[in-house]
Amino acid sequence: MATNWSSMDEEMEEKNKVHGGSQPSQSSFLEVDCKSSGKMRRFAAGTESGFAIFLINQKLEPGIPQALYIEAVKDGEEPVCFGPNAFLVNYGKGWRLQTVLDEGAHRKGYEELRRLKREMKQTQHTFNPSEVQSAKKPVAESSTSVNWSYFGRILLAFAFIFLLGGTLSLFLENLPELISFVSSSL
């Protein structure tokens, strides 16, 4: 067990060397601003970016654009993008972590979903059981031409099945005579 801890310590020292010394912030967690949900998500310092994106996307409702990756942003600075295997770090004062969205085809649905959520919150109404039972369900409009058309197609299919069956049975009844005729002519 002691060798396991020493190898982990060596691993951490190696990571610190790669990152240029100790990490800029020593807090026990990092906050990532989720642009899709508008919520802050907390992760342990050193969490892999890909794992954080996986967890963030799992908590999103259907129809909301998913996060592609995480980036560190600061006003007047070029954003720092975290790859899927990069460890999340805090770069110091003024820097914040945020998700970058897949806004392609989902943007319109995302805005519509947010609008519907707002409307639902504003017009919350509780139903009592008597209202639900007395509510009339809309009757589906049925056209008699559609019903007759459907019925006619079924009858036509049965007619073709019987025609095919009759033709096949007639062929099988006359098969021995056909074989003897072909063999006698050779």
Sketch the domain layout of the chain as residue ranges. 2-110
Contacts of 103 (CB under 8 A, 6+ apart): 65, 110
For residues 78 and 102, the answer to whether their CB atoms sit within 8 Å is: no
- Look at residue 22 in the predicted model and tell me its pLDDT: 44
- Look at residue 1 in the predicted model and tell me its pLDDT: 43
- Look at residue 82 in the predicted model and tell me its pLDDT: 87
Rg (CA), the chain: 35
Residue that has been written with the tokens 């079924």 in this structure: 154
Whether the model clears a pTM of 0.85, i.e. scores above it, the answer is no
- Look at residue 127 in the predicted model and tell me its pLDDT: 52
Q: What is the CATH number of domain 2-110?
A: 3.10.20
Beta bridge partners of 69: 100
Distance CA 65, CA 103 (A): 6
Distance CA 103, CA 186 (A): 76
Give me the average pLDDT of each 10-residue run along the chain (186 residues): 47 47 60 88 89 88 84 90 87 89 60 66 57 53 70 94 96 95 89
- Look at residue 136 in the predicted model and tell me its pLDDT: 52
- Look at residue 142 in the predicted model and tell me its pLDDT: 55
- Look at residue 8 in the predicted model and tell me its pLDDT: 46
- Look at residue 18 in the predicted model and tell me its pLDDT: 43
Residue of 84, 81, 113, 85 lying closest to 100 (CA atoms): 81
- Look at residue 163 in the predicted model and tell me its pLDDT: 97
- Look at residue 178 in the predicted model and tell me its pLDDT: 93
Distance CA 137, CA 94 (A): 57
